[in-house]
Amino acid sequence: QVQLVESGGDSVQAGGSLRLSCAASGDTYVIYYMDYMGWFRQAPGKEREGVAYIYTGSGSTYYSDSVKGRFTISQDNAKNALYLQMNSLRPEDTAIYYCAADPRPQYDGLRSVPYYKYSGQGTQVTVSS
């Protein structure tokens, strides 16, 4: 089994920055072969939205149009930590942000991130205008 724990959420003003972290622990064999890691978010009254993911083998990254150019996803070499650097935050970025991971997602792309096999409990990000 794998556990994911997010941290770094906070309340900030529009235009500010936050860096979210996700620590992975548990079965080291599973973590080593975790090919996909990502972030999704859920705002009140809205559906879960894939924000970004990384293919850990090549380091290729993918972003939703709503965050492209403002957010950066990264990982450490051991795959036991994932980060989301969020700059130029907007009130519409307010949501609970979840870290997620999957060795082999059932579907391609950002739409699958909220359905990855492993996910954390989330961390709250609030952006005020």
In percent, how much of the chain has pLDDT > 70?
A: 98
Average pLDDT over residues 114-129: 97
Answer with the residue of higher pLDDT: 32 or 5.
5
N-to-C CA span, the chain: 40
Which pairs from 28-35 meet CB under 8 Å and 24+ separation?
A: 30/1, 30/2, 30/103, 31/2, 31/79, 31/80, 32/79, 33/103, 34/2, 34/79, 34/101, 34/102, 34/103, 35/102, 35/103, 35/104
pLDDT one-digit tens code per residue, 43-76:
999 999 999 999 988 899 999 999 999 999 999 8
Model confidence at 28, pLDDT cuts 50, 70, 90, reads confident
pLDDT one-digit tens code per residue, 74-88:
998 766 899 999 999
